[in-house]
Structure 1
Amino acid sequence: MIFIFEQVDIDNEPGKYRMTLRDWDADEIRKIFSHWQRLMIDKDGWNSLFVENHDNPRSVSRYCNDSDEFRELSAKLLCLMMTTLAGTLYVYQGQELGMRNVPPEWSAEEYKDVESINYWKKMNNMYPNDKEKIDFAHHLLQRKARDHSRTPVQWTAEAHAGFCKEDVTPWMRVNDDYKTVNAEAQRNQNDPDKLSVLQFWKRGLANRKEHKDVFVYGDFQVLDENDKKVFAYKRASETEAFVLALNFSKDEVKWEIPEAAKVKKWVAGNYTAGQPDKPTSGTITLKPYEGLLATSEI
């Protein structure tokens, strides 16, 4: 099994320390995952699949948009991708809830990881009178510190997010959004038109298990080599096939379905609990951070 780290280095400045930052687009996500998907299939290898762990910020904050408007959609978009790629899938604690980075308003003193503490101390020692550099250092902590994946898991809307008793102080402050982003609320959500992030993950994992010959062991084909916003690919076994179209941008995108997709029916998406109403050929509109799954001809 191969553990790749290119996807968690995607926002690093090339060749530089992890605590750097740069912009990227869906083209880079496509290149990373398609390279390793294809290589492991061709060389009879095996992929590990992860976008989040204890040494990285929250995936919904890193790869998509963790605003109140787009957090759930972004978490579901990542779920669609991760549950339909070949290999062994790892889901990190809180990822199935769409937990996000701590708010920008938190002071640097809230960060407890030794890397964060040393980085903040170093930047203040090097640039004591440079407000611009210190502000950027704080911004970088909010984007990339390891602390984000180490806040207490948000179980309920009770004190400390139900992680510990009210009279016990956890090692780190609970993310401020715990009253609305927690396992209990998502488990109990009862909306026929909208799944919670947790419910979406459960459905995605069940679908992966049901169609494991396609999603775990099947073939992989990139469908669009040039789009800078949409990562589209086809997964197939000897008996069935599926197509994914994932818009990794905050823009509404007009996407032309490639002939090789051979879409039969759109069966799932992150904007509705039911089946998306989209054309199966020609040009379709993908909303911001919209992801679609379709059955396809082999």
Structure 2
Amino acid sequence: MTIRTILCATAVAMAMSQAPAFAQATSNAAIPEQKANDALRAKLPEDVKSSNKLISVNSGSFPPYEIVTDTRTMTGASADMTDAIGQLLGVKIEHATVSGLSALLSGIKSGRYQFSMGPVGDFKSRQEANDFVDWVQEYVVFAVQKGNPKGIKSLDDACGARIAVQSGGSAEKVIKAQAEKCEADGKPKLEVQSYTDQPTSILSVRSKRADAFFSSQAPLTYFVQQSNGELELTGVGQKNGFDDLFQGAVVTKDSPLGPVLLAAIQELVKNGTYAQIMKKWGLENNMIAEPGINKAQK
């Protein structure tokens, strides 16, 4: 058994054991059930209306948005959003889990899954093959060991450090570019460690195999809260290689499902359910004023 296999197995166990604890720590306010909206349902593709089902794919635990306890069971803000959207559309939304972001995007492209609620980072390069229904604004920071022994306060401080990232994500692209910059500037080597999921990445920091995990602020805040004081956030308030970063649900390019999801999310914003869900999971600072399709400009 390899060290990576051991890390993955331990991370999955950690994620499963932490999910209930996190749920108990948040508001227990019930999310109101939505009344079916016939006008929205009428806009669904015919195959969805006939099957009365949608499959939303995820790439594993991405708390507090997605907390996966088995391949078809999920809690978190995204789960609450899909529940509400399913009620509005009068369809059942099932969850499927794949290994990594690349598998998620290819699964949607192949038609095996209709969409991912995500949220997944919206970038112009990804818009060539996908449409993004943006419902989150995010920031990218570092989770480090308590006391920040490497003194990482921004992307420029990452030279000479071992940085964990989720494979296939936008943070991986940015940190690899920073590694090249460190080398070009004659600075100490930046070692990039790519992992398939969030729990394994954060475990690499907790086990001191990595000096920091570079990722979205919302899930890193969750992991820091669950670390019993072992971890802290740093790089907060810095651009860290990103400008405005929008995240959202993903569908294939020009899919008729995209506008329907947008209309459903807009209804949840209008009736206050979106705000209730985001506040329930501690995501007030990630709320987006106006959901939209392909809001990213870069």
**Structure 2-normalised TM-score?**
0.23
Q: Report the structure number with the largest CA radius of gyration.
A: 1
| More strand per residue | 2
| More helix per residue | 2
Q: Which has the higher contact order (CA 8 A, sep 6+)?
A: 2
**Structure 1-normalised TM-score?**
0.23
